[in-house]
Amino acid sequence: MIFSEELVQWYLNNKRDLPWRNTTDAYIIWLSEIILQQTRVEQGMPYFYRFAEKYPTVSDFAAADEDDILKLWQGLGYYSRGRNMLKTARLVAEHYNGVFPQQYNQLIKLKGIGEYTASAISSFSANEAKAVVDGNVYRVLARYFGIDEPINSPKGKKDFQILANGLLNHDHPGLHNQAMMEFGAMLCKPKNPACGICPVRTDCFAFKNNATTSLPVKLKTIKVRERFFNYFLIINNNEILLNKRDEKDIWANMYDLPLIETSELTLIDELLALPQIKDYFGESIEIQNISPVYKHILTHQRLHVRFIKLQAPEVKLQQNWFFSRLENLEKFALPKIIFIFIEIFLTCRIIHVESNLCQE
């Protein structure tokens, strides 16, 4: 039995029952593919259900406000995915009469859809003969065929795509792609792959040469940027001071707290001596508490985040600053670390937590 047939047989016997596998609706498949990018199935599943329920068609999605999309996306990370989805939905509603395209050549032109996603949607919805190559497929191919070319090098991407194209079952491309991806996700895992029950291990280079930990190879090209965020929590008369972020940085168009970013971790006395403090909060400020410094890891950035609770009766509202009633906070899409902090702080009114930001 050839490699593809072995994996398909394994898949039919072991696949997970996932909702997007029970449809050929390109819109539903698109929802699942974008939500699951950089996200584990267990984490992404609740989001998939929320989006599919609130926006059952692409036209419903297209009619949504960006704030609503980002709020529903809150906690999932990589928020540009949500913004790009809204742009795509609106393009589909306008140019495709609300019918989500199924063909690769149309899909590849849409915002946020690359070669992998276009191949996945077209093969799963229309059985188009396009080989899918995602992280799971890279890993399976690298280990089975013993390929040490880095998967993120230009040559590596080209070589793996050519290999995947050659292996593709043109009679059942969607089934073949699902099998390859599921095999990598469930059995040929990044760590502790289940080689003992692998149906193709006898011909697998990595199994025969004890190389599962060294394959696939990936170039380390990401330079992590260190950033230091000093957030100010100000609540006056049961209203919290919020900031709407712009489109030029992380968390674009989401909401956070007033922020002063510094080039390094700054002593509180030095921070309060900055001219922005007086410009923003006036003369009569009182520090009520200071949190520990929390680390928040993004793909290319490491944030060092500190929260400072201020009593500031003379706040001078800056552009994009505004006060909101505490009970209206649920309407705003907040970055995860801000959402968790505010939630803890509000809970602190009743119980004491490690952050030491509670006021009795």
What pLDDT, in 10s, does the model give residues 243-291? 999 988 999 999 999 999 999 998 888 998 899 998 898 888 889 889 9
pLDDT over 50 (residue 326) = yes
What pLDDT, in 10s, does the model give residues 120-152? 999 999 999 999 999 999 999 999 999 999 999
- What is the rounded CA–CA span in Å between residue 200 and residue 1? 10
pLDDT for residue 289: 87
What pLDDT, in 10s, does the model give residues 229-252? 999 999 988 899 999 999 889 999
| pLDDT above 70 as % of the chain | 96
Listed by start position, the domains of the chain span 225-347
DSSP-derived letter for residue 351 is S
pLDDT for residue 1: 52
pLDDT for residue 94: 92
- Long-range pairs, 146-151, Cβ under 8 A, ≥24: 146/205, 146/206, 146/209, 146/211, 146/215, 147/215, 147/216, 148/214, 148/215, 148/217, 149/217, 150/216, 150/217, 150/218, 150/219, 151/216, 151/217, 151/218
Q: Which residues are catalytic?
A: 33
pLDDT over 80 (residue 32) = yes
What is the sign of the dihedral through the CA atoms of 189, 194, 197 and 202?
Answer: positive
pTM for this model (two decimals): 0.82
The better pLDDT of the pair 348, 30 is held by 30
DSSP-derived letter for residue 256 is E
Residue showing tokens 């649920």: 330
CATH topology of domain 225-347: Nucleoside Triphosphate Pyrophosphohydrolase (3.90.79)
Radius of gyration, CA atoms only, the chain: 25
Per-residue confidence at 357, pLDDT binned at 50, 70, 90?
very low
Q: Are 207 and 231 in contact (CB under 8 A)?
A: no
Nearest Cα neighbor of 73 from 63, 86, 62, 60 is: 86
